[in-house]
Amino acid sequence: MLLTLSIRNVVLIERLDLTFKSGLCVLTGETGAGKSILLDALGLALGARVDPALIRGGPVDGAAAVSAAFEIPPDHDAISVIEDHGLAPPGAGEPLILRRTVAADGRSRGFVNEQPANAQLLRSVGQTLVEIVGQFASHDLAEKANHRSVLDRFGGLEVERGRVSDAWDAWRAAERALAEALARAEAAAREEESLRHAMEELDTFGPQEGEEDSLATARHRLRHAERLGETLAEALSEVVGAKGVESGLARAHRVLARRTDIAGRMFDDALEALDRAAAEAAEARAAIERCVGELQADPGRLDSVEERLFALRVLARKHGVAPDALPKLRDETARKLAAIEKAESSLADLRARTERARSEYESAAGALSVARGAAAERLDAAVNAELGPLRLGSARFETVVDPLDERDWGPNGAERATFVASTNPDTPAGPISRIASGGELSRFMLALKVVLAGASPVPTLVFDEVDAGIGGATSTAVGQRLRRLGDALQVLVVTHSPQVAALGGAHWRVRKRETRDRGGRETRTVVDELDRDTRREEIARMLAGMSVTDEARAAAESLIAGEAS
């Protein structure tokens, strides 16, 4: 609720600090005393558009500042708004303070708990804290875009609407997945022919990993086959010739072996080493002979190797990859073709999932529609029951719930809700803001607010002359409903009705005071909180006018006593 309002240099207010209370708070005063200035000042703190004329002393040499402090619970909507804008919310038990300063040139600066904030943020936060209802003030109930949310709050349909929102998100996600899969399938289908041709070509050629290097090495060797053959022949003669390694090792082995009878085991290590060397020499001879065999096995191998190497490189250039990447390209092509073949079954699954998600949304939205219809009937009955005592007995309020075209379905359901009314039996119903006069509109809003009090997310309501143009029993009925609202919310009422004023739990009088100094006369607006005696005097003035009589005081006392009982 609104705790304090501090105003500096706003029109006729030089300096004013007000502390408000819970329940029904009334502000009274003569016309022109400055009651509307208080609302204008509060509006500045809540992010309203700046009017330089509000600055005390005019836009040349003045400056204005307004600060409003609020008590809010830790889960209030204002907290998330503040955090969404990157600011720190008030700590536990701390007030939320909105402050606005206006320079002489009309430029303003805003603050949320002394953190810089633009006017839009002040408005966003302010909309969660205060609603001003009046003949000319805007309010959410006059905006058709808000009617569905108001109906849901009245009907307690948050859970049902949450289910619809979740089902909508699931449906949209399924549709996005299907659309993406279709796009991929269409793109793949467009290249299917080229993929199959590439796959056939790659399978026919059969590229192997590392094949380019092995072919290049073989080509290089085969191009030098003659010189390599000469080298191999020379090496082979050194191993197997008359004076070759093998012959020498054999002779050495025979020489040592002949003397083992007298050497005993002395030559054993040498003989074993000669045996190993002979084996290694034999292996070397076999390796050289294999190389000779490879060079002599296929005289045309060089041509086939070169042909394979050139074809491999041409194929790689055709597909825009390195030769060693061709096997990987073949595998990727195979996967793409497999995906195309499986796409239809995958698409069928996604279509089925999308249809299930749509069905679940329609089911949740249908349940919400039924609940909204029932809530609308209860709301209409409750509001219409309030209209008679408010001198709107011929009026009728109706909540129209219309189905939306499918293209307009959304996370909030498949219908719109609109509040309409007629003020006379013979006139068709229409939007409240069009068919009702200023006073009628305020009373319609009052009836709605009374009915919706328990579901209101805004803790403070401000009514600006909701009793305009009425009196007597109707004023009493207005006051009684305002007091009922005050049981659930903080209600601030600017009123000229003594019947309404008598019902207030707290009462402030707004008046002008003229002062004189060396600079001449100056008029200022002052606000006094009234006790029982001064309150009786103010209500007597409201009853009698400028000349307050004893009879008026007695009538005021009777009103206060009667409303307090």
Separation of alpha carbons 502 and 31, rounded Å: 19
- Mean pLDDT, range 348-373, rounded to an integer: 95
Domains of the chain, by residue range, sit at 192-338
Q: Are 95 and 459 in contact (CB under 8 A)?
A: no
* pLDDT (0 to 100) of residue 285: 84
pLDDT, tens only, 61-77: 568 899 999 999 988 99
pLDDT above 70 as % of the chain: 93
Residue 341's pLDDT band, with cuts at 50, 70 and 90, is confident
Q: How many CA atoms lie within 13 A of 258 on its CB side?
A: 5
pLDDT of 139:
53
Residue 551: burial class (beta carbons within 10 Å; 0-12, 13-18, 19+): exposed
Whether residue 167 is predicted with pLDDT greater than 80 in this model: the reply is: yes
Q: Is the pLDDT of residue 160 over 50?
A: yes
Runs of H (alpha helix) within 46-134: 77-84, 119-127
Q: Which residues pair with 527 in a beta bridge?
A: 510
CA 359 remoteness from chain centre: 26
Q: What pLDDT is attached to residue 565?
A: 47
Task: Read off φ and ψ for residue 441, nearest 5 degrees.
Answer: -60, -45
Share of the chain above pLDDT 90, in %: 38
pLDDT band, very low/low/confident/very high, at 344 (cuts 50, 70, 90): confident
pLDDT at 464 over 50: yes
Determine which of 152-161, 372-381, 477-486 has the lowest per-residue pLDDT on average.
477-486
Residue range 387-408: mean pLDDT, rounded: 90
Compute the 3-state secondary structure of the chain and give helix, strand, coil in percent, each to the nearest 5.
60, 20, 25
User: Which single residue is written with the structure tokens 């190497």?
Assistant: 309
Distance CA 341, CA 437 (A): 69
Q: Is the dihedral of CA 138, 141, 143, 146 positive or negative?
A: positive
Closest alpha carbon to 153 in 483, 452, 505: 452
Q: What residues contact residue 425 under an 8 Å CB cut-off, 6+ apart?
A: 394, 396
pLDDT reported for residue 25: 94
Q: How many CB atoms lie within 10 A of CB 215?
A: 22
For residues 377 and 223, which has the higher predicted lDDT (pLDDT)? Answer: 377
For residues 123 and 43, what is the distance between their CA atoms, to the nearest angstrom? 9
Contacts of 408 (CB under 8 A, 6+ apart): none
Q: Which two tokens stand for residue 181?
A: 């899969």
Q: Does 59 score more than 50 pLDDT?
A: no
**Helix (H/G/I), strand (E/B), else coil: 442:** helix
| pLDDT, mean of residues 42-63 | 76
User: 3-state DSSP call for residue 154?
Assistant: helix
Averaged confidence pLDDT in the chain: 86
Q: Name the band, by pLDDT with cuts 50, 70 and 90, for residue 255.
A: confident
Does 491 have pLDDT greater than 60? Answer: yes
Token pair for 131:
């609603």
Minimal CA–CA distance to 435: which of 427, 425, 443? Answer: 427
